[in-house]
Structure 1
């Protein structure tokens, strides 16, 4: 059975309990469910279906069982491993303290962008299908990174560090 990762937007330990989220996914019919970290990453097995269908299934279950929904983007573990194995950041010269971040899109991005796009220490480096390779140098209290992403791609996105994606792909 294929393994998937659901990336939920806006989850934190303050607004979602991981055991409840796990039970919600199990109640939706997913198996071998595991949460990774406390930031809305749910790894699960499911019959092969379109990723958008699995995302809707998860969102419906959250609305029914948690009385709220977190926007959900689903990717197969197989596709995440292929992205990681491609070492996508090796082609870029980035500052040593930069965070490597993957921004997940709900829909393929069809407009043309002249990349990279820079705003302060935030960069949009490349688009690969429905994944955007981004980086930034963290500064306390600076919303520059998310502002750049939302200005460019809208709010139907969610982001994870490359390290988090690796943890999810091996969970």
Structure 2
């Protein structure tokens, strides 16, 4: 068995169709094992026979409208993929917090290169690591920059982002 995480876009605790229990129920109905949630923002860890993570993501994504009545981009990564990504994150000693907000953005479809945001945006792109875009926002300069808006306009809306701290929590839950 391989351990995976489904990173689901646009999930929050306010909609009962998108609760952790509901999300887990969909993965369980699809036959995945050891299904468990990590915080209430669309992170579901599960086990399955080894398979292509993209194919698993497509299967789960196709189930949302049928089983829960919503659509949501779903990106799946194996434990090994997540471990590799975390070990190569380019944040260094830069702290993550209210003044220096780090994000790792996962894309449904690979992007080949990264673009630089406008100079006045207070957002720095640190690069692509294993296909994920690593950014840091300096919120002391202009408040919170519209990082997600810029990323969506520049790349695609078929993406989802997590902080490195959330990724560490997911990896811990993966065992």
Measured against the shorter chain, the TM-score band is 0.7 to 0.9
The whole-number CA distance in structure 1 between the counterparts of 2:150 and 2:24 is: 32
Q: Which residue number in structure 2 is paired with residue 25 of structure 1?
A: 27
8 Å CA contact 2:101–2:137 kept in 1: the answer is yes
User: Which deviates the most, 53-62 or 140-149?
Assistant: 140-149
The whole-number CA distance in structure 1 between the counterparts of 2:43 and 2:31 is: 17
Q: Which residue number in structure 2 is paired with residue 12 of structure 1?
A: 12
User: Which deviates the most, 39-48 or 123-132?
Assistant: 123-132
* Equivalent of residue 63 in structure 1, options 62, 65, 70: 65
Unaligned runs of 5+ residues in structure 1 are: none
TM-score (norm: length of structure 2): 0.85
The whole-number CA distance in structure 2 between the counterparts of 1:158 and 1:106 is: 8
The whole-number CA distance in structure 2 between the counterparts of 1:118 and 1:158 is: 24
Q: Which residue number in structure 2 is paired with residue 47 of structure 1?
A: 49
1:73-117 Cα shifts (integer Å, max 9, x gaps): 111111111222235311x8679731221100112212x446587
How far does residue 165 in structure 1 lie from its aligned partner after superposition?
Answer: 0.7
Aligned length: 169
Runs of 4+ in 1 over 3 A off after TM superposition: 92-96, 112-119, 137-143
Q: Which residue number in structure 2 is paired with residue 129 of structure 1?
A: 130
Residue 51 of structure 2: SS of its match in structure 1? coil
TM-score (norm: length of structure 1): 0.87
8 Å CA contact 1:109–1:129 kept in 2: the answer is no
Task: Provide the alpha-carbon RMSD of the alignment.
Answer: 2.5
How far does residue 157 in structure 1 lie from its aligned partner after superposition?
Answer: 0.9
Q: Which residue number in structure 2 is paired with residue 76 of structure 1?
A: 78
Unaligned runs of 5+ residues in structure 2 are: none
